[in-house]
Amino acid sequence: MPKPDLGGLARRDAYKAYHMVSTRWADNDQYGHINNAKFYEFVDSAVNAHLIIAGALKDSIGLVVDSGCQYTSSLAFPDVIEVGIKVDHVGTSSVKYGFAVFRRGVEHPAAIGHFVHVYVDAETRRPKPLCAALRGVVENLKAD
């Protein structure tokens, strides 16, 4: 089966940060590969780890309001994967992230996609403007 043309999304250098994820035996499904839902867990963990390490998540939380993913190949335990992240758009209270999931050492991604976080007050769950720290971190992840 030919690989789909993913344009610039397939280039590793399109992503501004990478987070390594070690797969677990429990990530495999009954078909012997990592289930598509696990990809979203890997990506969510990569983005939030990046923001937490940068000290950008203090007063708000990000709720996913939109997402999409295109799968191009399968992964399975014991693969080590690299999740590439970038920012495609920064709004007043929202951020659109792009991502690619690569098997370590492989140039073609196993999956590419996007998701949108709306940042909300942790208590009221109402959208709030991005704080300066969060805005600074996501601006540094903006795609060229």
- Cα separation, 11 vs 33, in Å, equals 24
In DSSP notation, 57-110 reads -SSEEEEEEEEEEEE-S---TT-EEEEEEEEEEE-SSEEEEEEEEEETT-SS-S
- The number of CA neighbours under 13 Å toward the Cβ of 139 is 8
Chain segment 12-41, per-residue pLDDT in tens: 999 999 999 999 999 999 999 999 999 999
Chain segment 77-124, per-residue pLDDT in tens: 999 999 999 999 999 999 999 999 999 999 999 999 999 999 999 889
Q: What is the pLDDT of residue 1?
A: 46
Q: What is the pLDDT of residue 134?
A: 95
Query: Which residue carries 């939380």 as its tokens?
Result: 61
Among 76, 79, 71, smallest CA distance to 33 is for 76
pTM over 0.85: yes
What domains can be seen in the chain, in order of their start residue?
Answer: 13-140 (3.10.129.10)
